[in-house]
Structure 1
Amino acid sequence: MISYTTPHCTKILSLNLNLGNKCQEECPVGTFGVSCRQTCRCENGAKCDHISGACLCELGYTGEKCEVRLCPEGHYGLTCDKRCHCHAQNTHSCHPMSGECSCQPGWSGTYCNKTCTPGFFGVSCQQVCQCQNGADCHSVTGECICAPGFKGSKCSTVCPSGTHGINCSATCGCKNGAQCSSVDGACSCKAGWHGVDCSINCPIGTWGLGCNLTCMCGNGGACNALNGHCTCAPGWRGERCDLNCQVRDVSPTAHPSAVPVTQ
């Protein structure tokens, strides 16, 4: 028996065993050999010997890597006389002894006939999606399918100004400083404008956001569509153009010549 001693443990080479203070643990699952540097190649849930790497097959499998089913595909049981009930296209394998279905990524359920619940993906639908802002998650890969108005690997980025839609691929058509919805491109017009693309002035007699306010200018006065201010016609004055230019205010001490002239 060949061995050597280190400050921490004694290693027995002929048995490939580790003894002592820091060499008493078996290799992690999936590895074997000296310093656990080799990777196990076992399949179908087989365990790997941590020393030799030999595969310890589950019932129903054989072969060096446990890659061979004892029952034909689609059958299971001690005499392979039972038929598997797994969904054919969504199933990775049917256990040759128990008939348990092992689902393809993106599928779950006893018979692999259920898609992943929203927010989950992958093998047995155990992985959690990282998508944001209402994005869909691909049930197999976990790739995010962004909702309109967002982009990025996790759909966390709002569309840049002037763009909208799926993957921010559409260009906004809003005019006169209107805001464009990053989702559907709808225009939010500034005061004084209306129309699908905000290119039309408010109709005469209206003003403000959505042209929903009524102008109060009288006697032919023009109304500013932005703020509703009146520009009076000749001969009229006042905030609403309701005062005749010939009429002047008179105080009690005013000179007689300041008395309003009427005709």
Structure 2
Amino acid sequence: VCVAGYGGSGCEPCSQSRYGFVCGTGCSINGNCSGHGRCNGTTGSCMCYVGWSGADCSTSSGVVAGCVGDVDCGGGERGRCVNGTCVCVAGYGGSGCEPCSQSRYGFVCGTGCSINGN
């Protein structure tokens, strides 16, 4: 018999979408943790990634503490998490690969728009 958070014939850890005794309950209490966390296999509560908080991980804490996965870097579309740091594609920058401001462009938003005066 497996303890809460484990299931299957070998008592493997529950998948990210299941929790509880024999992994019998879906993690729908807090949705998908807003894409900024994962479901706790024992309690079903969200375990938020660095920089996120709240019951469903929807609140940005404003803390720049590095990334845990590509989801912290624009979901992988705007950048990738490499050794705890977001590496952003051109047109995005900052700790979470946010879009460049209107006056900046390029890799890590490092170039100013001074060629045309704007």
TM-score range, shorter chain: 0.3 to 0.5
Greater Rg by CA = 1
Higher helix share: 2
Higher RCO, 1 vs 2 (CA within 8 Å, ≥6 residues apart)? 2
